[in-house]
Amino acid sequence: MSLDPEPLQPGATIGLLGGGQLAQMLVLAGHAMGFRFMVLEPNPDCPAALAGAEQITASYTDPEALAKLADSCQLVTYEFENVDAEAVSWLEERVDVPQGSEILRIAQNRLREKKTLVRLNIPVAPFQKITTENELSLALKSLGELMLKTVTGGYDGKGQVRISKVEQIPEAFSTLYSTKTEIVAEQFVSFEREVSVIVARNRLGEISCFPVAENVHEKNILTISRIPARLDSRVREQAQLLAKQIAEGLELVGVLAVEMFVLPDGNLVVNELAPRPHNSGHFTLNDCATSQFEQHLKAITNFPLGSTEMYKPAIMLNILGEHLPLLLKRLKDLPPEAKLHLYGKQECRPGRKMGHLNLTADSPESLLENLVKLGIWDEALLYKML
């Protein structure tokens, strides 16, 4: 009989690679659980430090900084997938890194990610690896309209080009290939909705999913999530089942966001994995028995997972740099139940995530109508959720 792994002791220090808003919200949740935090982050005064984590200000690959993290912490976790997998492997030899470096290697490389999903029998858009213009032209013939993506380094829509005609090939190829990473051509999916599921798994193999979120992006940055997603219960259950299959297949420890496209016939296609808390799960902070941050910490510290029960329909709006100044002037016009989260970032620029707003309502429709009147978020985007 195997012994249950020991829960991390109160007062223990958790190391964080990356000190942005996800790390900040992990710190806030973790303090309530009795843990200390040390963050490795090159930008001084990072949001995690603002929440009380001790900061090592150095690059994510600095050997001295990594050694200090390994020596000072009982376990280490990461808040985004662009940390160096080699650095995480190095840490794994010295300190407990429950998420591990393997899932990071998969999520960092779109080809590896897709091949892994195929191996796990998870539906993905048909794809091909591209190394020459000729291969691209063959892919366009066989797959039709394409979304071209760099295999590594792309996030928030960077490193992506959509093409439908042969004439677009030379420019698309040279734009993406010049970045010196491989390219993957994916069939363009005419989806009806984009959704995501956050799934958690601990070392005992306990698995739990949060409700399915429906997401709208602008310029590939998440703007608004509506929870639960407007889907048949059959499709919702299927989305959660896929997320659980992936969590089991990858032997996940921690939380993982699974982004999916919903096709007009209700079938689902998995687009991307993020092995960490996710922007589309911020509603859980105010609307679920356990937040995604608390759940991640429970999973990596060998605590039983918490309930993911949701109390009311929710809307989450990202507050980007372009929204913040007006929002601060209109605070009194926000619905009284609104929960405002600001990350304390000093520099406010367009497209930068400065905070988010969590709202709950029995009728998301009337809530959205009121949000349109506020004039802070783009009306057309809000109407996509109506």
Pick 326 or 380: Cβ nearer ligand AMP: 380
Least distance from ligand AMP to the Cβ atom of residue 147, Å = 4
Pick 33 or 189: Cβ nearer ligand AMP: 189
**What CA–CA distance (Å, rounded) separates 78 from 127?**
29
Per the omega criterion (within 30 degrees of 0), is the bond before 228 cis?
yes
* 12, 95, 143, 189: residue in contact with ligand AMP (rule CB under 6 A): 189
Structure tokens at 270: 């998995």
Site membership for ligand AMP, residue 125 (CB under 6 A): yes
Site membership for ligand AMP, residue 188 (CB under 6 A): yes
Give me the residue label for tokens 């990350």. 343
Site membership for ligand AMP, residue 194 (CB under 6 A): yes
Least distance from ligand AMP to the Cβ atom of residue 129, Å = 15
Least distance from ligand AMP to the Cβ atom of residue 156, Å = 7
For 161, other C-beta atoms within 10 Å of its C-beta total 17
**What CA–CA distance (Å, rounded) separates 81 from 279?**
13
Residues 251-270 that bind ligand AMP (CB under 6 A): 259
Least distance from ligand AMP to the Cβ atom of residue 218, Å = 10
**What CA–CA distance (Å, rounded) separates 314 from 292?**
15
* 14, 147, 324, 382: residue in contact with ligand AMP (rule CB under 6 A): 147
**What CA–CA distance (Å, rounded) separates 155 from 160?**
9
Render the burial of 248-275: b for 16+ CB within 10 Å, e for the rest: eebebbbbbbbbbbbbeeeebbbbbbbb
The contact mask relative to ligand AMP for 157-176 (x = CB under 6 A, - = no) is x-------------------
Structure tokens at 156: 């928030």
**What CA–CA distance (Å, rounded) separates 356 from 359?**
10
Residues 300-359 that bind ligand AMP (CB under 6 A): none
Least distance from ligand AMP to the Cβ atom of residue 186, Å = 4
Structure tokens at 22: 């996800």
Residues that bind ligand AMP (CB under 6 A): 125, 147, 157, 186, 188-189, 194, 217, 220, 259, 271-272
